[in-house]
């Protein structure tokens, strides 16, 4: 693959992830960010949100299920969302 192809693929992958994240509410994006970007575990997120850990764990599972619903035909790279948030 040449540099232009790599940039195009990277932009397309970014667009797919952004589209998946746009499906989420602000709270869902915060929870996802705390877990995947900040590296916090469920207990730490629960403390921040002042919620039971079981509830946060359920929310996280629901969020991941929600973004995994990106249609495969909209993601030519083998469901990049699953690869990132697997």
Q: Give residue 17's pLDDT.
A: 78
Question: Which structure tokens are listed for 33?
Answer: 């960010």
State residue 25's pLDDT score. 92
pLDDT at 14: 81
CATH number of the 3-85 domain: 1.10.10.10
With a cut of 70, which residues of the chain have pLDDT below it?
Answer: 1, 4, 6-7, 69-86
HSE-up of residue 3 (Cα within 13 Å, Cβ side): 0
Evaluate whether 85 touches 16 at the Cβ level (below 8 Å): no
For the chain, how big is the Rg over CA atoms in Å? 15
pTM over 0.85: no
CB 21 within 8 A of CB 67: yes
């Amino acid at each position: 693959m040449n540099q232009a192809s790599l940039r195009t693929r990277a932009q397309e992958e970014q667009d797919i992830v952004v589209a998946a994240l746009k499906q989420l509410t602000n709270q869902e994006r915060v929870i996802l960010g705390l877990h995947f970007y900040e590296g916090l575990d469920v207990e730490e997120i629960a403390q921040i949100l002042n919620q039971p850990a079981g509830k946060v764990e359920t929310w996280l599972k629901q969020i991941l299920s929600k973004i995994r619903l990106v249609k495969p035909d909209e993601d030519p790279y083998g469901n990049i969302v699953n690869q990132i948030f697997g």
